[in-house]
Amino acid sequence: MTSSLPLNVVILAAGKGTRMKSAVPKVFHAAAGRSLLEWVLAAVEGLAPERLHVVIGPEGEDHLAGLSGMERATVSVQHERKGTGHAVMQAQDALRDALGYTLVLYADTPLVTTQALRAFVDDTMADDADVAMTVFETDHPARYGRVILDPGNRPTAIIEAKDATPEQLAVRLCNGGLMLARSTVLFDLLAQTDDKNAAGEFYITDIVSLARAANLRTRASVFDQSLLAGVNSRAELAAVEGVLQTRLRSALMDAGVTMTAPETVTLCHDTRIGQDTVIEPNVFFGPGVTVGTKCRLRAGSYFEGAQVGEEVIVGPMARLREGTVLDDAVKVGNFVEIKKAHLAPGAKAPHLTYVGDAEVGAKANLGAGTITCNYDGVNKHQTVIGAGAFIGSNSALVAPVSIGDGALVGAGSTITEDIPADAIVTTRGTTKIKPGAAERYRERLRSIKARKDASSKR
């Protein structure tokens, strides 16, 4: 079922996250390459809300720039943290005259999914409820608010744990945190809340009992507790990271990617990998990586901001940095680092090489120890290596420089000027051999050392 009434969304993101022990508010900490707030924004984007509003704390204003999903959102600041109800009230101006329903959720719950949210919204609208909430049952309710139901299994109140009686604390049905209310009644109910509780705060949960007092229809929707996990500490952040990594790995394997040791592979939320690609152990993906089909990503390799074609071999122990583009059938071997470089089809950098700010032609071969010297201490410069060129081992290409198609650079050369196509160039000095000189040299060094030792004993 798809809901027909307009939907608005308020995301509460004003928490400091004191237990994070960080100057950065907790919702801006990242998991799988995306902030906690961005995970929630991505989940609600699939609901296509009419209005989207985010409530932040004053410390969060400097962290909003560039966040994905904020393009359509309006923002308000909760300068005084007086509870969840007070936080939602900060959205009143942005949602004035809003129609349909308003969904309220928290920015520190990155595991919530669009599918689960859609089911919650659809079920609430189908039930014609005025106020709805998510609930779950657990044998370890601990700090969760307890949900009190009437004989018809509709909620009459949510009691925060710190305000609950011993009898209420025995209830195992808990508040899942998500609230959904008709937009026309949400702020009227919030205006009736007070701070007469143990925390001295205005609770959004109080709107349930207020709704019942006004003869409004309430609803409790059972929700998967695992989707509601909040992040309040570094340990909880790590736990959420683990769940997200498992989801991402499973999605790739379901799509036809092989991982020989999936638990050792670290993915990013936007990692894209084609069918029949094999990922060996301990491979790391940062943001902005796309890999084609039938590739082999060997153990210990690192990818960030890289675009990889089909049937490419990378690693082991290779590093592809931002701006790397590898066309089909490229081979990048062990201990190779590539940055802002394009390797055309069939090009090879088998081992121990740095390629930065470069264009490498089709089927060119970069020998072991090849370095593109792209930085002069102030500016970066480009190296162009032609198709079919062969760069001998331990060569330094001092940019800006161009190596023509089919050119051959002798091992150990330092190239500082352009080389024409099909040329052979070497810059090694003349070899001089002095028979027996090594022992004479060592004897001279031993004599110098003996004199120094004798002098030190005087």
**Residues 6 or more apart from 153 whose CB is under 8 A from it?**
220
In the annotation, is 53 catalytic? no
State the DSSP code for 9: E
Let me know: does 116 contact 134? Beta carbons within 8 Å. Answer: no
Please identify which residue in the block is written with the tokens 């950098």.
Answer: 349
Amino acid at 232: N
How is residue 239 written in tokens? 């736990």
- Residue 306, strand partner residues: 324
Degrees, nearest 5: CA angle 90-92-97: 165
Q: How far is residue 49's CA from residue 8's CA, in Å, rounded to a whole number? A: 5
**Residues 6 or more apart from 109 whose CB is under 8 A from it?**
36, 40, 177, 227, 228, 229, 230, 231
Q: Is 40 left (phi over 0), alpha (psi -120 to 50) or beta?
A: alpha
Q: Which of 53, 269, 342, 351 is catalytic?
A: 351
Strand ranges in 150-287 using DSSP code E only, listed in sequence order? 155-159, 173-182, 218-222, 258-259, 272-273, 278-279, 284-285
Helix (H) or strand (E) holding 234: helix 234-254
Let me know: does 15 contact 57? Beta carbons within 8 Å. Answer: yes
Of 1, 74, 65, 9, which Cα lies nearest the Cα of 40? 9
Active site residues: 351
